[in-house]
């Protein structure tokens, strides 16, 4: 019952956050996996600290390549993809979208990320570490199959 209660509470929190203006929300809308949701919560808190004075909003579920958009005071944008692992998931990550080096979607947003943040959570779902990587720090192998 504990997990089901926690899951339901996270759904309720997502609904509450969805009612806020996009730049005020601490959680993305419903649909995210819960480990990722918790990681994005911690990433948003971190982003608001390191990008103080910037507007920060979540990408949509269908937004390829990034999860957070940071709009700096000079109007430039930083796109962040967040990936989260927890002690419950045995270190498994969902696929990482390779940076597409400037490609843009129909909405005008890029289909790539400027920074990849890897968040590791402990068994209490508290952040243990957050790694910040730029595209030049990540090597993608050949696709199999």
Which tens digits make up the pLDDT trace of 2-43? 656 777 788 788 888 888 888 888 887 766 577 888 899 999
Q: What pLDDT shows up at residue 104? A: 47
User: What percent of the chain shows pLDDT beyond 90?
Assistant: 32
Phi, psi dihedral angles at 13 (to 5 degrees)? -65, -40
CA nearest neighbour of 82 among 111, 42, 50: 42
Q: Under 8 Å CB-to-CB from 17, ≥6 apart: which residues?
A: 25, 26, 27, 28, 29
Model confidence pLDDT, tens digit, residues 33-65: 778 888 999 999 999 999 999 999 998 776 778
List all residues 6 or more positions away from 116 whose beta carbon is below 8 Å from its beta carbon.
80, 81, 83, 96, 132, 133, 134, 135, 138
Question: Cα separations (Å) of 78 from 2, 96, 117, 126?
Answer: 37, 17, 12, 25
Give the start-end residues of each E strand in 29-101: 55-58, 68-71, 77-86
Residues 59/20, Cβ–Cβ less than 8 Å:
no
Q: Torsions phi, psi of 131, nearest 5?
A: -100, 135
Average pLDDT in the 66-92 region?
86
Model confidence at 76, in pLDDT bands (50, 70, 90)? confident
């Amino acid at each position: 019952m504990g997990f089901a209660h926690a899951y339901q509470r996270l759904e309720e929190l997502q609904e509450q956050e969805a009612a806020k203006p996009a730049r005020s929300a601490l959680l993305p809308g419903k649909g995210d996996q819960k480990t990722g949701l918790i990681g994005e919560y911690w990433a948003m808190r971190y982003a608001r600290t390191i990008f103080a004075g910037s507007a920060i909003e979540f990408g949509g579920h269908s937004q390829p390549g990034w999860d957070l958009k940071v709009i700096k005071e000079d109007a430039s944008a930083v796109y962040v993809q967040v990936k989260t692992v927890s002690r419950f998931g045995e270190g498994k990550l969902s696929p990482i979208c390779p940076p597409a080096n400037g490609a843009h979607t129909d909405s005008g947003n890029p289909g790539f990320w400027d920074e990849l943040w890897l968040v590791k959570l402990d068994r209490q779902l508290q952040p243990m570490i957050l790694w910040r990587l730029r595209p030049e720090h990540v090597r993608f192998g050949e696709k199999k199959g």
